[in-house]
A and B are shown apart, each in its own frame.
Chain A
Amino acid sequence: MIKLNNVCYAYDGLVALRHVNLDISKGDTVVLQGSNGCGKSTLLKLLNGLIFAEEGEYYFDGKLITQDEMKDSKFSKNFHKRIGFVFQNPDVQLFCNNVHDEIAFGPAQMGLTSNEIEKRVSDLLTLLNIDHLKDRAPYHLSGGEKKRVALASVLSINPEVLVLDEPLAGLDKSAQDWLIDFLQELQSAGKTLIISTHDDNLAHLLGDRIVYMNEDHTIDYVL
């Protein structure tokens, strides 16, 4: 489903990705590990079409993802619907007046009826234990609550692929355990997961495959 061929990317003259080859099949869970600054976040941004390879190709479901292709509004919207990104810093993702609207933002754009939208919102509020936060402004929530709201607001568009950048960062132990369980459920539901993390526990519990990014921005497979 996702294929990276010799992808290279540099930022301000500094190399971030070097000859990266990666194959991810539908339903896989891939865990991305590596030290800070090795290019994990860059790779995730590239997978989501925020930045584009300078050399090499990125294929999503057989289609080549380039800057030109993404200029087509329809193409890019269809793409973004199928792959969801949960940023490391949830603050960056939350821009609505209250949690309900935040979760409803995605489905509202999809043209669903208001009943369908409400169903999705209430399902996710329950699923992520944030029902009591429905009318609160996301900006004032605690770190853990924000992470759950961000996750819900991405899940509401029902993406096939879910990309998570350091999902456990900043959470206390019980919240981390909860999240790991939740991700396992999403795994069983057939989602393709791509997770970058420093946490070895997560990697071993979830990862079908662990991909390691080296300091020279290349990639190794570790099982």
Chain B
Amino acid sequence: MHIPDNYLSPSTCAVVAAATVPVWTYSIRRIKAEIPKEKMTFLGVGAAFSFVAMMFNIPMPGGTTGHAVGGTLIALLLGPEAACIAVTIALLIQALLFGDGGILAFGANCFNMAFILPYVGYYAYKMIARILHADRLGAASRGKLVAAGIGSYLGINAAALAAAIEFGIQPALFHNVAGVPLYCPYGLSISIPAMMLGHLTIFGAAEVIFTVALYAFISKTSPGMLRDAAPADTAKKNSFPVFILLAILIAATPLGLIASGTAWGEWEISEIPTMTESFSWASLFPDYSMNGLPDFVAYILSAIIGVLLSIIIFRFISAKMKRTTKF
């Protein structure tokens, strides 16, 4: 679910990132209050675990495999605030050091996978556990496993929906003079079914299997590691500000996007091109030759790129073929 750069406009990225900042602040403050100083070291180790877990292929019925994010599981083990920070750090390393997920889109990825996923997953788990009367302290019962499964399923699908919305509003808000979308070209009517299809099925299943299997293992082996359900009234106190925050953010984000879209002035809301417009190669690069710049600039540029690419391809192939060790 990692969103790369260039699928979301910089202004979308900025707005969603701004929306994530209060979540980070809240999470860090809660962590400092709840987790004693000594356990802070575990945040780093928890982030490392989150990172490594994302590398695993989860075996699923039918022989398919999928990847899980594991945000809900970490929330069940360490609490949603610690899960938020752990997943954030894991995403940062993935983006910065592995190119997995965009840099500009980092805020959006954190919003989806470090905020929505663990918080929705955790509080869904609490609610369902309470409904199933499985929220007493102690070793895991069937009910807790069911709650963990449903919670993680809701968590990942909520995150997928958020990503789908972030994608889907791009073409309407950000396109050039000719109406060509600059970033993700798929509107909500496409992005939502496309994202949700994969996550309601394969990725949702992978997340559920990951969460339930691991939760079961840890509760059988070291049940003391589980973050047991806090007494009921504390839970109510905790969830209240988070849901208010969530509601405000959901309301503010589209407003912010629309406002920034027009405020930046770069994008005019013009007619969406109709399907009957003819297609020609020239229209692929309508702005390719800017007014006032001679054509040869473009030619030189393509020549330079061509040469560089040839060097790189040659080096790439020879690097792959070389075996340098002499025994």
Contacts and interface: CB of A to CB of B under 8 A. Distances in A.
Is A–B contact present in the complex under a CB 8 A cutoff?
A: yes
Interface of A: 8, 10, 13, 15, 18-19, 54-55, 97-98, 137, 139-140
A101 to B, nearest CB: 10
Interface residues of B, number: 8
Interface of B: 217, 220-222, 323-325, 327
Closest 6 CB pairs of A and B: A10-B325, A8-B327, A137-B221, A97-B220, A18-B327, A139-B221
A205 to B, nearest CB: 35
A10 B220 CA distance: 41
Contact of A19 (B217, B221, B324, B327): B327
B325 A13 contact: yes
Contact of A15 (B217, B221, B323, B327): B327
B325 A15 contact: yes
Majority secondary structure, B binding face: loop
A140 B221 contact: yes
Contacts of A55: 327
A139 B222 contact: yes
A8 B326 CA distance: 10
B325 A97 contact: no
Contacts of A8: 327
A205 B152 CA distance: 56
A137 B325 contact: no
14 contacts: A8-B327, A10-B325, A13-B324, A13-B325, A15-B325, A15-B327, A18-B327, A54-B323, A54-B327, A97-B220, A97-B221, A137-B222, A140-B221, A140-B222
A55 B327 CA distance: 9
A55 B323 CA distance: 11
Most B-side CB within 10 Å, residue of A10, A13, A18, A98:
A10
B220 A54 contact: no
Nearest to B216: A97
B220 A137 contact: yes
B327 A10 contact: yes
B236 to A, nearest CB: 35
Contacts of B327: 8, 10, 15, 18-19, 54-55
A173 B324 CA distance: 46
B325 A54 contact: yes
A140 B225 CA distance: 13
Nearest to A17: B327
Given A97-B217, A137-B220, A137-B221, 6 more contacts: A13-B325, A15-B325, A97-B220, A97-B221, A140-B221, A140-B222
Most A-side CB within 10 Å, residue of B220, B221, B323, B324:
B221
